[in-house]
Amino acid sequence: MQRQVAKIFIVLAAVLFVSITVFELHAEARVGGSRSMGSRGSRTYTKPVAPTSQPSQQKATQAPGSLQQQPAAGGSFMRTMAGGLMGGMLGSMLFSSFAGASGGLGTGGGIGLFEIALLGGIAYLIYRFMKKKREESILAPALQPGARFEARANDPIRMQPVEAAYLPADSGLQHIQQMDHNFDETAFQDTVMDHFFRIQAAWMNRDLSSASGLMTDEMRLIMQGNIDQLLKDKQINRLENIAVRKVEIAEAWQEAGQDYITVLVHANLLDYTVDEASGAVVSGSTTAPVRFEENWTFVRSVGSNPWQLSGIHQR
């Protein structure tokens, strides 16, 4: 009886551990997928500064039916708690199995097929974690200010040292306005929100053709790779009730004949992924909105030229 109860607890702990881990990895699948990508010129690997402007009272720009409630934080705590619980259960299981095999506890000996399958699942999760860390370590030499990367099909990272004028946002905007007398901050923020909604819509439709001109070739290549994966998995990432609460200019500068502006986007939305055939929810939530802040960097050739999304940096 005790052995059966222990197995039930192990099953529950395993389900809790795996579900929380998978949810945290895949729940936020929107554009960027909670990952930093693209290029910010020579500041590619530098965390954007916080906006110096005071909190704006402007009305939120939102899609119809936008939700106002926000999800509670604490995913990392839950994952840690589940991991600790799982570790304790596994330790107890292994000890009991060893003792049973020695004739001390229980009636059956050894580890059964269930335990082997469970340990195999945990080993796979550890493998995925280590693989991710290894990939990050490969890119470590490139993580330096004064370098940028450009993604290509078979050569995703290409270092190219450049020089930049490191200026506060206000000074950077003044330099941009000197070369483009028609530049207006309010109009630029409207452009950012227009790009934001159009790119998110193209992402959800798994077709970037309607937004290809709104982003650099590098960003388009990265996003297309993610969309190709969704198509391969026969999944659709649904984004609903999108509400942009605020757009703040964080940085502005010029380098190599180009204007750069990084904005901090405060937004919330429903973000979930469904199976293409059945419509069943694979990850995310259809009821709990995701609240997030992301830095979107836009670039253009110096002068009165159209802006393109060149990078997304997660805070």
- What does 271-313 look like in DSSP terms, one character per residue? EEEEETTT--EEEE-SSS-EEEEEEEEEEEESSS---EEEEEE
**Residue 252 pairs with which residues in a beta bridge?**
261
- Amino acid 129: pLDDT: 72
- 135 or 267, higher pLDDT: 267
**Mean pLDDT across the stretch 176-195?**
95
Strand 37-38 with 258-275, pairing: unpaired
Model confidence at 94: pLDDT above 80? no
Residue 92 — very low, low, confident or very high, per pLDDT cuts 50/70/90?
low
**Mean pLDDT across the stretch 268-296?**
95
Number of domains into which the chain is organized: 1
Model confidence at 213: pLDDT above 90? yes
How does the average pLDDT of the chain come out, rounded?
Answer: 73
pLDDT digits over 231-267, tens only? 999 999 999 999 999 999 999 999 999 999 999 999 9
- Amino acid 30: pLDDT: 75
**pTM for the structure as a whole:** 0.60
| Domain harbouring 135, CATH code | 3.10.450.240
Based on the number of CB atoms within 10 Å of its own CB, is 202 exposed (0-12), middle (13-18) or buried (19 or more)? buried
Residue 52 — very low, low, confident or very high, per pLDDT cuts 50/70/90?
low
188 close to 176: Cβ distance less than 8 angstroms: no
Strand 308-314 with 290-301, pairing: antiparallel
**Which tokens belong to 217?**
């070739």
- Amino acid 122: pLDDT: 81
pLDDT digits over 143-175, tens only? 344 444 333 333 333 333 334 444 568 889 999
Residue 293's domain comprises 2-314
Residue 62 — very low, low, confident or very high, per pLDDT cuts 50/70/90?
low
Residue 112 — very low, low, confident or very high, per pLDDT cuts 50/70/90?
low
- Amino acid 277: pLDDT: 96
- Amino acid 24: pLDDT: 38
